[in-house]
Copies of this chain bind each other. A is one copy, B any other.
Amino acid sequence: MARKMELQCPMPKFDFDVITLGHGSGGLLTNKLLESGVFDLLSNEALDAHHDGAVLDLDGPVAFSTDSFVISPIFFPGGDIGELAVNGTINDVAMCGARPRFISLSFILEEGLPIEDFWKILVSIRQACENAGVKVVTGDTKVVEKGKGDQIFINTTGLGTIHPQARIHHRRIRPGDKIIVSNQIAAHGVAILSVRQGLTFNTTIESDTAALHEPILDLLDRWGPAVKLLRDPTRGGLAATLNELARDTGLGYILQETALPIAAQVRAACEMLGLDPLYIANEGVFLAVAAPEHAEAMTERLRQHPLCRHAAVIGEVAEQPAGGVLITQPLGGKRPVSMPIGEQLPRIC
């Protein structure tokens, strides 16, 4: 994704080129790795205390969410595992109707990871945090032997303060509610797949990784409880998310195929690869279930945000099919959208 600012963070002079087991020892090497730049790069009052945990002040109810990132490859068009790990957890917190404020950052590094790659990822983490206004306040670094991991896995766990107008719960969904998608779908999964397979298209398809809390908080400022549910359809795509909602609410979710916003080159790539965009992971898109009387105004408002230019009402909630998801095709036929079974694209996030 386009960055709001470009950080200039030259790598400090490390006296090692790759990560070794000793960097996970808790001893001098761990300290060298952290002191030689990591703490400086991510500096803030809580992290600078160098304690086992951070002490934070949070007013009122908080949202708390965790995610481990194991994406392969770790650098991909439009982002890298560091940016993804920050944005992904920010989004999970935002989907609770909260403003993300603090994250923890925990690395599992594979012995032999080049320090330069680690540094790039760290800079990307800082950049993503600055863009989103969140702070890394506590962390952990472990190292596993070569062949017992895969370069780098990152866990981020986020904390945010719930918006005072947020009333996000699937129990509030009613037949007639509208389903809004915030932007064009399927870019992340197609970007990862294309780089894995060495495919080239006319233009590079980039991951849509982005922090989505700003447009969400704006919706909550304006419409509060009319926003009934928020979800980011990552692994398993819209199909998995809507099937989970259908299961949890016992209602039907009916999409209009012609309403789905999909970039032309993503659609073309999906057709070429035989993939259904409904099942492909997104990292910069959210679904909102909204009270019908406000859905169009919300969508209009969303389109004014740079991350949501293609927001659209894509369907609605109905009594039937109870617990199921349908899509209405261009000629009016309906087909069921089932829960994906296994792995279409492993390690997509």
Taking the closest CB of chain B, its distance from the CB of A97, in whole angstroms, is 8
Contacting residue for A341 out of B27, B66, B162, CB 8 A:
B27
Asked whether A119 is an interface residue with its Cβ less than 8 Å from the other chain, the reply is no
Decide if A144 touches B93 in the complex (CB within 8 Å): no
| A159, B27: Cβ atoms closer than 8 Å | no
Residues of B with C-beta under 8 A to A25: 235-236, 340-344, 346
In this complex, the member of A30, A53, A102, A232 whose beta carbon has the largest number of chain B beta carbons within 10 angstroms is: A53
Within 8 A of B (CB), among A104-155: 104-108, 137-140, 142-145, 147-150, 153, 155
Q: Which residues of A contact B (CB under 8 A)?
A: 20-22, 24-31, 49-58, 60-70, 72, 91-93, 95-96, 98, 102, 104-108, 137-140, 142-145, 147-150, 153, 155, 157-159, 162, 168-170, 231-232, 234-236, 240, 244, 248, 281, 339-344, 346-347
**Closest chain B residue, CB of each to CB of A235:** B26
Q: Given A144-B150, A157-B104, are A56 and B67 also a contact pair (CB < 8 Å)? A: no
Cα separation A8 to B64 with both chains bound (whole Å): 30
Residues of B within 8 A of A31 (CB): 244, 339
Number of copies: 2
CB distance from A241 to the nearest CB of B (A): 9
CA distance A50 to B60 in the complex (A): 21
Contact A92–B158 (Cβ < 8 Å):
no
Q: Is the CB of B342 within 8 A of A55?
A: no
Name the contact of A64 in the complex, choosing from B138, B169, B231, B240 (C-beta under 8 A).
B138
Docked-complex contact A138 and B65, CB < 8 angstroms = yes
- Please report the C-alpha to C-alpha distance between residue A236 and residue B30 in the assembled complex, in whole angstroms: 10
Select A63's contact among B53, B234, B240, B340, beta carbons within 8 Å. B53
Q: Residues of B contacting A65 with CB < 8 Å? A: 52-54, 104, 138
Say yes or no: A137 contacts B26, CB within 8 Å: no
With a cutoff of 8 Å between Cβ atoms, the chain B residues found around residue A169 in the complex are: 49
Known: A51-B170, A55-B162. 13 other contacts (CB 8 A): A20-B342, A24-B235, A24-B347, A27-B343, A29-B341, A31-B244, A52-B65, A53-B93, A54-B65, A55-B63, A68-B140, A144-B153, A149-B150
